[in-house]
Amino acid sequence: MNNLAILWPREERPLHHPTPFGRDVHAGLRAGAKAIPAKYFYDSHGSELFEQICRLPEYYPTRTERKILLDNAAEIAAIIGADVEVVEFGAGAAEKVRLLLDALPRPAGYLPIDISGPHLTAAVAPLASRYPDVTIRVVAGDFTQALPLPAPLPQARCRVGFFPGSTIGNFTPDEALAFLRNAATMLRSSTASGAGLLIGVDLVKDPAVLHAAYNDSAGVTAAFNLNLLQRINRELNGDFDLGSFDHYAFYQPDQHRIEMHLVSRHAQVVTVCDQRYSFAAGESIHTENSYKYTPAGFRQLAEKAGFRPAAMWTDEDSLFSLHWLALPDA
Ligand code: AVI
């Protein structure tokens, strides 16, 4: 498979310096309202649990977005056109991109970016043989930070971003705006016109549907949430007792977001890397926000970031939306 390259940006960090994970966990546990960024869910077990979530009957986003992509593949392909390099932000299992690569006429390249490097590398390997004419370059890194990308492929007309799954919902509106601006810069660095971003966005809906999606009856979302503590124990020498914390997820209508927390069942002290953290009974660690948008609200945000919202597709129950955001020429 000589169409596949794995690119690991070298981290410039002295050995004695804590990892970003360690730094963020300590800062988050020291804060008045304890919180840890949701991006740390995705170690290899967390990534597997997330794939299980995507198959749950209550978790509608994955299958709904997939159907939207399939039902509208021809129209999407006609808008995007031939000879593009697809840049996927947070590629994870690299599943949905198959639908896009299958639909596009003559895709030139695929550049998936994901924080979980080993998981991504394993997920992408089968794509190299399935799409022998597509140059695949894997970038392991955090796309929420300024990340150096390899130069655009000479054979590609332009770069097209792909950000499915409503991962943008895990950012605050300010972070979402910053992501969109950053994505616009990365995609615009390509040569000719035609660049844009195909992005999946979960919609505001009946809170009962949302509640069920984040409190599944099989307990997979709870395991996904609690795995963060397991990861801290393993990687940061922590002593969290997983049985002493509960998964708690609820819809916060004022902010149009699901909040996920881990709630301490009783007063306790936890040690992470020799630092002690006290928890009162009922005190929580805020582990995730999942914002839901109205179509108009999302279009406004995209315009603010410099995109031109040019098309939107949704399902018959208006659960989920897929937007084509064109990038006007600089
Ligand atoms: C990845 N992200 C869009 C998921 C979501 O729905 O916010 C993560 C997730 N958290 C709990 N269930 C799924």
Listed residue (195, 170, 168) closest to 179, CA to CA: 168
132-166: pLDDT as tens digits: 999 999 998 888 877 888 998 999 999 999 999 99
* 18/70 Cα distance (integer angstroms): 44
Ligand 1 binding pocket includes 290 (Cβ within 6 Å): yes
* 285/299 Cα distance (integer angstroms): 32
Residue 259's DSSP bridge partners are 250, 289
Which string of DSSP letters, residue by residue, matches 243-289?
Answer: GGEEEEEEEEGGGTEEEEEEEESS-EEEEETTEEEEE-TT-EEEEEE
Atom of ligand 1 nearest to the CA of 224: 11
Would you say residue 280 has pLDDT above 80? yes
* 215/248 Cα distance (integer angstroms): 8
Task: State mean pLDDT over 215-226.
Answer: 98
HSE-up of 269 (CA within 13 Å, CB side)?
4
Higher-pLDDT residue of 152 and 204 is: 204
Query: Which of 89-98, 154-163, 211-220 has the least mean pLDDT?
Result: 89-98
Task: State mean pLDDT over 301-316.
Answer: 98
Q: What is the pLDDT of residue 217?
A: 98
* Gap from CA of 131 to ligand 1 centroid (Å): 29
For ligand 1, atom 5: residue with the closest CA: 290
For ligand 1, atom 4: residue with the closest CA: 167
Would you say residue 29 has pLDDT above 60? yes
Task: State mean pLDDT over 255-268.
Answer: 98
Would you say residue 6 has pLDDT above 50? yes
HSE-up of 107 (CA within 13 Å, CB side)?
27
Task: Mention every residue, 6+ apart, whose C-beta is less than 8 A from residue 11.
Answer: none
Q: What are phi and psi of 91, to 5 degrees?
A: -70, -25
Q: What is the pTM of this model?
A: 0.92
User: What 3-state class would DSSP assign to 184?
Assistant: helix
Task: State mean pLDDT over 227-233.
Answer: 98
Higher-pLDDT residue of 329 and 302 is: 302
* 248/313 Cα distance (integer angstroms): 32
Ligand 1 binding pocket includes 65 (Cβ within 6 Å): no
* 166/321 Cα distance (integer angstroms): 9
Looking at residue 138, what DSSP letter applies?
E
* Gap from CA of 181 to ligand 1 centroid (Å): 22
H or E segment and range at residue 7: strand 4-7
The pair of structure tokens assigned to 35 is 């919180």
Would you say residue 1 has pLDDT above 80? no
- For residue 99, give Cα distances in angstroms to 51, 117, 134, 157, 315: 17, 22, 14, 20, 17
* 69/328 Cα distance (integer angstroms): 24
36-93: pLDDT as tens digits: 999 999 888 998 999 999 999 999 999 999 999 999 999 999 999 999 999 999 887 7
> How sure is the predictor about 14, in pLDDT bands with cuts at 50, 70 and 90?
very low
For ligand 1, atom 6: residue with the closest CA: 290
End-to-end CA distance of the chain: 36
Task: State mean pLDDT over 223-235.
Answer: 98
Q: Which amino acid is at 52?
A: Q
Percent of the chain residues topping a pLDDT of 70: 94
* 246/265 Cα distance (integer angstroms): 7
Q: What is the pLDDT of residue 16?
A: 44
Q: What is the pLDDT of residue 13?
A: 45
* Gap from CA of 284 to ligand 1 centroid (Å): 19
Listed residue (94, 71, 53) closest to 247, CA to CA: 53
Asked if 329 and 193 count as a contact pair (C-beta separation under 8 A), the reply is yes
Averaged confidence pLDDT in the chain? 92
Listed residue (133, 100, 176) closest to 4, CA to CA: 133
Ligand 1 binding pocket includes 221 (Cβ within 6 Å): yes
